[in-house]
Structure 1
């Protein structure tokens, strides 16, 4: 295959850099977060009053660092230039233009924080709990309900309870710095304390932030290593290392589903996850479902409290669902990405293994990609427009163990669970 035209690659790089620069001031989670004062007031009132968050709250506390109208016009101009310079039917151009459209929607979503339109745009970008995986299949809400019942049964066993969270943030930072230095020895990755965060941890371009007052156990640190480190930091580093498609270091909402699904899948495949961790993820789906059905913040908080979640965890999950909105508004549906992405990525993995298409699997890590585009990215790697990922987690770098385990999955999935229950039930 002949080398790509240097002029074409130069155009791709130029347009890619324009996307990267245009999206730089857009910080979704910073723009929609509820500050610690909201939490303090909620608990001071015995968790019985709706938090005082309205449309003005975001304008006062989380002002945007850009003019929304100007920013939307900027992305529209980039999209036009991509079509003009690369062609409307060029597969790479189609991906880049879609990114511009998504970013325009994100800008509009942030512009209308605290309104019902915020939730409508969120649903367009991240989906709804009423979405199905395939025609006739159960919905995400059904997945949440089914998994909740299974996990509640598991968590009744004492052996499934997690260890006490007694590792301070400073110690967690030291442990993760040591582990990630071993994984990314030349990448300059830093793990840092941060006292402005609402989440326990968050990955950036070349750093992992840990909330300074958070407490962890060993399992939490294991999860952070593979979820935030191996996947989120790994795909960011692979994306920013791209010579032409530098935008692969930045994720759009559509890429979030694949990213979070891949991260959860990696937790599970490496045995770093736990029923308690999965229960929290499933409860995020349940919380979004309730909010979509009309529940307010207090309804969701109390539901979680009644389902064996601590007050702190119940508040944390409820905030994730209503951030950017109001305590009585439509939800922010990003948290559906974890379970939706897990199911989609796992099914893709099963199919690739069953058909022997192993070369497609490392492509998942070449940057912040969407599963739907993976065939295009594989072709672009073959053409030399995109380089193969430099970092792969151990179970993807050497697929033998994963392939052996997955070889049985299609057959096992075809067995009737009801019949298994009838045959094996007497043994339990």
Structure 2
């Protein structure tokens, strides 16, 4: 026989679940990256002019990209849902506060879409994803300072021996087959197995959607590339989507607003390193994105950023793709799209969070990073929801994070090593190196 308390709790869960599903349905037609793509004609034009003429992209160009929703109507839907959340959960309910914030963020995303090709796009981008001159912590270097420091360190690693692991011997078709097999094993027992498909028109060699990983048609891959894609796109991006979708109550965690991007890309970058899938050129690629965004924030145009990437030894095709990442949604001489800052920023924030949560005796918080599209500031709330029986621990967690004992040992040493004066150590070791 159910008590009044248990009945009230079930009603509470039902309200959260209903609001979650409404949120998911409202969010569903938003395809932000599709709305800021540069088509093949733009690339063709740039190459035909020998990289001397800025690509013909302005606000009128973006108006030619059909949206599958009415922006103003969608803004109203999110606003109405925010009011409904307050009406049913109250203004200060912890789950309600997360949902309300997500509604506000998605309204900003829509405003950003409406501002494509104008200064408004860049302004909102900085608001949602930050700037290259943002400090990581009070009194600490900015992201751009960090990128420059890492770039200097990477100079000494440019002549590492070649490894067969890095030979690009797999076609995109082979990559699809191999990735599908890997993910089928990892996601055994999932309600819906993720699909790996070939795709044209994506900027990166691969990208992850809700339960789909797209592999760029015509790209070539190495063993290391495939391992990196497996853990980055599969274990993290698809994994957190499926974990969120399989929550019995808080299904809204399957959808990632901009604030969760830092956590998502930070986790993905950490997994690259924890699985030894990363490599110096990959780190250089991430830091060069920060440097390129900084250049654009300082007034550099598309041609200057394109030439910067060429100076880094990249091909003309790849330099173009990298420069597009900086200016997509904007204009070739406008403010940059700053989303690519979050890989390095997220790595540092998440790594420090893991170290400190373990150092303070709260290692169980680490697993919650994978329960959906989370943010660091929400983890304490999510931990409370686990104890209330409203949230469950994630089903699909990388092995490096399921063994909290081993991870804790690693982080204990990391906390100690962080206290050493590396300059002093370098002087002591100078006769050994």
Q: TM-score range by the shorter chain?
A: over 0.9
In structure 2, the CA distance between the partners of 1:159 and 1:421, relative to structure 1 (3 Å rule), is farther
1:332 alignment partner in structure 2:
337
Range with greater deviation from structure 2 (117-126 or 1-10):
1-10
Q: Paired residue for 2:325?
A: 320
User: How many Å apart are 1:159 and its aligned residue?
Assistant: 4.4
CA contact (8 A) 1:160 1:275 kept: no
Closer/same/farther in 2, CA of residues 193 and 38 from structure 1, 3 Å limit = same
Residue 45 of structure 1 deviates from its aligned partner by 2.5
Aligned match of 1:118: 121
What is aligned with 2:298?
293
Is the contact made by 1:161 and 1:276 (CA closer than 8 Å) also made in structure 2? no
Q: Of the candidates 273, 282, 287, which is equivalent to residue 287 of structure 2? A: 282
1:417 aligns with 2:422: yes
Shift of 1:98: 0.4
1:127 aligns with 2:130: yes
Shift of the alpha carbon at 1:4? Answer: 6.4
Whether 2:151 is the aligned partner of 1:148: answer yes
Mark the runs of 5 or more structure 2 residues left unpaired by the alignment.
none
In structure 2, what is the Cα distance between the partners aligned to 1:345 and 1:310? 32
Aligned residue in 2 for 1:270: 275
1:396 counterpart = 2:401: yes
8 A contact 1:322–1:331 mirrored in 2 = yes
1:13 counterpart residue number: 17
CA distance in 2, matches of 1:43, 1:412: 49
Match for residue 31 of structure 2 among 14, 27, 30: 27
Distance (whole Å) between structure 2 residues aligned to residue 235 and residue 91 of structure 1 = 21
Tell me, in whole angstroms, the C-alpha distance in 2 between the residues paired with 1:283 and 1:312.
16
Matched residue SS, 1:157: coil
Trace 1:16-95 onto structure 2 (pairs within 5 A). 16-60=20-64, 62-95=65-98
Q: Distance in 1 between matches of 2:222 and 2:412?
A: 34
Shift of 1:36: 2.4
Q: Per-residue deviation at 1:265?
A: 0.4
- Please give the per-residue CA displacement for 1:174-210, whole angstroms capped at 9, x wherever unaligned: 1101111110123322111112423211112222111
Structure 1: give runs of 5+ residues left out of the alignment. Answer: none
Given the alignment, which residue of 200, 206, 210 partners 1:195? 200
- Measured against aligned partners, the alpha-carbon deviations of 1:291-310 in whole angstroms (never above 9, x if no partner) come to 11111111111112112333
* 1: CA distance, partners of 2:410 / 2:14: 43
Contact 1:258–1:345 (8 Å) recurs in 2 = yes
**Conserved in 2, the CA contact under 8 Å of 1:3 and 1:383?**
no
Q: Distance in 1 between matches of 2:75 and 2:360?
A: 43
- Measure, in 1, the Cα distance between the counterparts of 2:257 and 2:187: 24
Structure 2 match to 1:307: 312
Within the alignment, does 1:365 sit opposite 2:370 as a pair? yes
Q: Kindly report structure 1 stretches of 4+ aligned residues shifted beyond 6 Å.
A: 1-4
Contact (CA 8 Å) 2:165, 2:223: kept in 1 or not? no
Check whether the contact 1:160–1:276 (CA below 8 A) recurs between aligned residues: no
Contact 1:35/1:198 (<8 A) preserved: no
Describe the SS at the equivalent of 2:189. Answer: coil
- Per-residue deviation, 1:402: 2.1
Q: 1:3 to 1:165 in 2, by over 3 A?
A: farther
Q: Structure 1 CA distance, aligned partners of 2:311 and 2:236?
A: 33
| Alpha-carbon contact 1:4-1:385 (below 8 Å) kept | no
SS in 2 for 1:202: strand
Higher mean C-alpha deviation, range 320-329 or range 45-54: 45-54
| TM-score, normalised via structure 1 length | 0.96
Whole-Å separation in 2 of the counterparts to 1:333 and 1:4: 44
What is the rounded CA distance, in whole Å, between the counterparts of 1:157 and 1:328 in structure 2?
Answer: 37
- Count of aligned pairs between the two proteins: 427
Change (3 A) 1:152 1:43: farther
Deviates more, 1:164-173 or 1:40-49: 40-49
The structural deviation recorded for 1:161 is 10
Q: Indicate the larger mover: 242-251 or 97-106.
A: 242-251
User: Aligned equivalents of 1:391 and 1:375: distance in 2?
Assistant: 20
- The whole-number CA distance in structure 1 between the counterparts of 2:172 and 2:283 is 22
Aligned position for 1:171:
174
RMSD: 1.6
Residue 138 (str. 1) matches residue 134 (str. 2): no
